[in-house]
A and B are shown apart, each in its own frame.
Chain A
Amino acid sequence: MKPLLQLENVNSFYGPVQVHFDLSLTVPENAIVCLLGGNASGKSTTMKTILGLQVPKSGKVTMEGRDITGLPTPEIVRAGIATVPEARRLFGDMTVRENLLMGAYARSDKPGIDEDYEKVLDLFPRLKQRLGQKAGTMSGGEQQMVAMARALMARPKLICMDEPTMGLSPLFVDRVLELIATVRQTGVSVFMVEQNASMALSIADYGYVLQTGRIVLEGPAGDLLADPRIRSAYLGDTAA
């Protein structure tokens, strides 16, 4: 598979504190890749680094071979990376319709935006009846839908999702997984940061495990699911 997004030997710092140690990872085209890790492992910083919200001290972030390290976020969005931020971060006082249009903010191809708008609503038909509703008044699950639809409106090649299942009811977690799989079927890659390892690995193609800023384990999702180290660390399997 062709690599889409690559991080090569990234070293990030918060002041004097080093967060990433030679972090390297690859998201191929049309794939779901997850990054697993506990609190303070550097997951969120990885997300910020990709989006240009945090500039690494050394190392490179490339998108389709193009160096995007340290570019301003709008540029990175135009390079084809959209996000579903942690806790969704919808524009709560704006309508669902406006939230979707904000997703297409970096684009200027009006016909293309209209086309994607229809497509996205076909993908999430429930949003059709809610277009005029303020996003902040919706349930958590519906908000997650809006967040994903908003990301798709950018016509991205890659969507980065920061803990997409956080704060959702167990019932809805499955629904979100289906949505992520649906998104991938449209030809978009998904890079997902998660604490919930079994859930993430169940739909991912490939996984990385981050521990205090270092990749300590990586492999195809199936292998990781079976790996005793993963089982003991994340899946509560004390027998291993």
Chain B
Amino acid sequence: MEFLSSLISMPWLDYSISGLVIGSIYALMAVGLALIFGVANLINFAHGAVFTVGAYIGWTCLVGLGLPLGVTIVAVAAVSGGVGALIEWLAIRPLNRQSRIAPLLATIGVALMLDQIIHIVFSPTPRALPANIPDWRIAVGNGTIGAIDITIFATAVISAAALYAFLFRTKLGMAVRATAQDDDAAKQMGVNINAVNMTVFGIAGALGGIAGLLVGLYYNSIDPNASFQMMLKGMVAIVIGGMANVPGAIGGGLILGLIESWGIGLFGASYRNLFAFVLLLVMLLFRPNGIFARGKERAAEPMTGTFVTQTKAITLPRPLIWVLIGVAVILPMANMPYITQVMTNAYLYGLAALALTLVSGTVGLVSIGHAALVAIGAYASALLTTKGLPVSLGIVIGGAAAALIGTALAYPAFRLRGHYVAIGTLALGEIVALVILNWEGVTNGALGVFAIPPLEIFGLPLYGTKASYWFVLALMLGMAGLQVRLLKSHLGRTWKAIREDTVAAETYGVSSNYYKGLAFGFAGFTAGIAGAVTAHQWSFINYDSFNLLFSVLILTMAILGGLGNVSGAILGAILVAALPEMFRTLAEYRMLFYGAALVILIRFRPQGLLGSG
């Protein structure tokens, strides 16, 4: 009873008001994503970066130039709208004829670049945004509403109204709606699809930028590292609302804002993002068309087999492979400890990329949550060995844990396809990170795990960089060899059949879930031991060691080498992980380098350097 009465006495009205205010900002983010998903059939991962651009333009106008809020809002809308349109023109339009995953990956690259540019121009630390909005609050029932709440909510409502006027009262707006329903038919009516796409990216950018400014006003500060989180919030909102459904996106944003606000009231702020992602997963699994759709059926995505670009893979001649392996083996003899260390690191990335290229390339489930598998392996081994378990056993258990937990977590997502796999795996990755952060009793929470014992084989410690180099190299080559063998077996053919056409494969009696499970299991084991060895190498890990950026990096490596290509994954890992380390100037602008690499690669060599297998 005491619990109940304390529950009732909580300031629910205040929670609801702040939930609606934040929700209206999420709604602005979501509307842009929904519009873009509608006309371009694309989840725009750069939407969060445009949000951040808006926040900084707002800061420049309000603080730097001392402009009034009204002018600032217009300026923010104009600049971030322009950035949105530029993204369409430079990064998306050239990919017209490529596989469906290509533009999605390009927006990830653009997001990395924009974020780093903002870091370079404005410094990577948050800064204050004094808004000069009067701080009065009026009492409403047992809660209060302030001028800031009204300002934000009104701005969001006016923006939404302007969007509606555009969509339903103008000719171009009508073309946008028509294109969203059937772009081919719209084209045959004489609609210039490129102009429509650019318009939509512009509008989405403007709304996203305004959202950035509003969040800044609400918290009195702006954070250059908020991009991905905000983009994800918008994405959760459109999943709730039904992807391309604009009114649904608004509803989804408000619902997400309310649930978050209530949830924080009940459980505390560190759980904030967990609600969003659990909600996302639940929606994907049970109502993939959103809560406003009548049916439960997910609209068919005609993308099987075309989601990932397929080409003929380049097979390296056997003698060359042996020569390369030979060079790798004798590399430490050159006595350049820095290079040896960098390469050890690259091989660990290579292990993780091997796992991803199997799941995403061979089986066709493009994962943006790969870091979760690595993190599970790392934590399992780190936690067990700090309690006395031998390291070599810890590594194996780490791999097994990642295989089991990873497969179990991903299992419900096996029936998803295309974009939904990308969203679902992303949510899984975030959820694993958040569980690690919040499960303090086991994972030590935000502090992380310290003093993880160094690498050893059966009690024989590996002293020095050379020994660990050889150990990691052997591990990577061993797993790569095993993967090649598997791909040549009937298992490999079945995996590819599922990738090409899951339905067709099932009609031939292939139980696709079973084979997807095997792929995830094998990949999970590889990724898990990669994580475990990394943990012993670093001796310290925390919830942020294997974050979204890590997942994106691994994906970049796998794409660079050619999705599904075993030697490609290793080559990609070496290029992406080692190159920036070799040139210190590059290291400083690492994200810019990764982002640009991803964008350029997808534009000019979407099949990767060695071709996708």
Please determine whether A106 and B189 come into contact, CB atoms closer than 8 angstroms: yes
A127 to B182, CA, bound (A): 22
CB-defined contacts of B192 to chain A, threshold 8 Å: 72, 74
A82 to B190, CA, bound (A): 9
- Of the stretches A2-10, A59-67, A94-102, A207-215, the one at the interface is A94-102
B171 within 8 A of A: yes
- Of the stretches B40-48, B76-84, B173-181, the one at the interface is B173-181
Please determine whether A102 and B187 come into contact, CB atoms closer than 8 angstroms: no
Please determine whether B189 and A102 come into contact, CB atoms closer than 8 angstroms: yes
Q: Residue A106 contacts which of B177, B181, B190 (CB distance < 8 angstroms)?
A: B190
CB-defined contacts of B189 to chain A, threshold 8 Å: 77, 102-103, 105-106, 150, 154
CB-defined contacts of B171 to chain A, threshold 8 Å: 105
CB-defined contacts of B191 to chain A, threshold 8 Å: 74, 102, 105
A94 to B184, CA, bound (A): 16
Residue interface bits B176-207, CB-to-A below 8 A is 1, else 0: 01100110111111111000000000000000
A42 within 8 A of B: no
A53 within 8 A of B: yes
Q: Residue B190 contacts which of A74, A85, A98 (CB distance < 8 angstroms)?
A: A74
CB-defined contacts of A90 to chain B, threshold 8 Å: 185
Number of interface residues of A (CB under 8 A): 23
A154 to B189, CA, bound (A): 8
Q: Shortest CB–CB separation between residue B198 and chain A, in angstroms?
A: 15
Please determine whether A93 and B186 come into contact, CB atoms closer than 8 angstroms: no
Please determine whether A93 and B185 come into contact, CB atoms closer than 8 angstroms: no
CB-defined contacts of A94 to chain B, threshold 8 Å: 174, 177-178, 181
Please determine whether A91 and B182 come into contact, CB atoms closer than 8 angstroms: yes
A72 to B190, CA, bound (A): 9
Please determine whether B181 and A102 come into contact, CB atoms closer than 8 angstroms: no
A45 within 8 A of B: no
| Cβ < 8 Å to B, chain A residues 81-125 | 83, 85, 89-94, 98, 101-103, 105-106
CB-defined contacts of A105 to chain B, threshold 8 Å: 171, 174-175, 178, 186, 189-191
CB-defined contacts of B174 to chain A, threshold 8 Å: 94, 98, 101-102, 105
What range describes how many residues of B lie at the interface?
10 to 19
| Cβ < 8 Å to B, chain A residues 108-159 | 150, 154
| Cβ < 8 Å to B, chain A residues 46-69 | 51, 53
Which B residues contact A (CB, under 8 angstroms)?
Answer: 171, 174-175, 177-178, 181-182, 184-192
Q: Shortest CB–CB separation between residue A71 and chain B, in angstroms?
A: 12
A51 to B189, CA, bound (A): 10
A44 within 8 A of B: no
Contacts A103-B189, A105-B190, A105-B191 given; indicate if A85 touches B177 (C-beta within 8 A).
no
CB-defined contacts of A72 to chain B, threshold 8 Å: 192
Q: List 24 A-B contacts (CB under 8 A).
A: A53-B187, A73-B190, A74-B190, A77-B189, A85-B185, A89-B182, A89-B185, A91-B178, A91-B181, A91-B182, A92-B181, A93-B177, A93-B181, A94-B174, A94-B177, A94-B181, A98-B177, A102-B174, A102-B175, A102-B178, A105-B171, A105-B174, A105-B178, A154-B189
Please determine whether B188 and A73 come into contact, CB atoms closer than 8 angstroms: yes
Contacts A98-B174, A105-B175 given; indicate if A91 touches B187 (C-beta within 8 A).
no
Q: Shortest CB–CB separation between residue B481 and chain A, in angstroms?
A: 35
In the complex formed, the residue of A with least CB distance to B245 is A93
A74 to B186, CA, bound (A): 9
A78 within 8 A of B: yes
A191 to B467, CA, bound (A): 75
A85 to B188, CA, bound (A): 8
Q: Shortest CB–CB separation between residue B199 and chain A, in angstroms?
A: 14
| Cβ < 8 Å to B, chain A residues 139-192 | 150, 154
A57 to B513, CA, bound (A): 44
CB-defined contacts of A93 to chain B, threshold 8 Å: 177, 181
In the complex formed, the residue of B with least CB distance to A107 is B190
Q: Shortest CB–CB separation between residue B247 and chain A, in angstroms?
A: 12
Please determine whether A53 and B190 come into contact, CB atoms closer than 8 angstroms: no
Q: Shortest CB–CB separation between residue B563 and chain A, in angstroms?
A: 21
Q: Shortest CB–CB separation between residue A134 and chain B, in angstroms?
A: 11
In the complex formed, the residue of A with least CB distance to B185 is A89
CB-defined contacts of B178 to chain A, threshold 8 Å: 91, 94, 98, 102, 105
A91 to B186, CA, bound (A): 8
Q: Shortest CB–CB separation between residue B290 and chain A, in angstroms?
A: 15
Please determine whether B190 and A154 come into contact, CB atoms closer than 8 angstroms: yes
Q: Shortest CB–CB separation between residue B306 and chain A, in angstroms?
A: 14
The 6 closest A-B pairs by CB, nearest first: A106-B190, A77-B190, A89-B185, A74-B190, A105-B189, A83-B188
Q: Shortest CB–CB separation between residue A90 and chain B, in angstroms?
A: 8
A89 to B185, CA, bound (A): 6
In the complex formed, the residue of B with least CB distance to A135 is B181
Q: Shortest CB–CB separation between residue A231 and chain B, in angstroms?
A: 34
Q: Shortest CB–CB separation between residue B265 and chain A, in angstroms?
A: 38
Q: Shortest CB–CB separation between residue A163 and chain B, in angstroms?
A: 15
CB-defined contacts of A101 to chain B, threshold 8 Å: 174
A207 to B7, CA, bound (A): 79
A13 to B64, CA, bound (A): 58
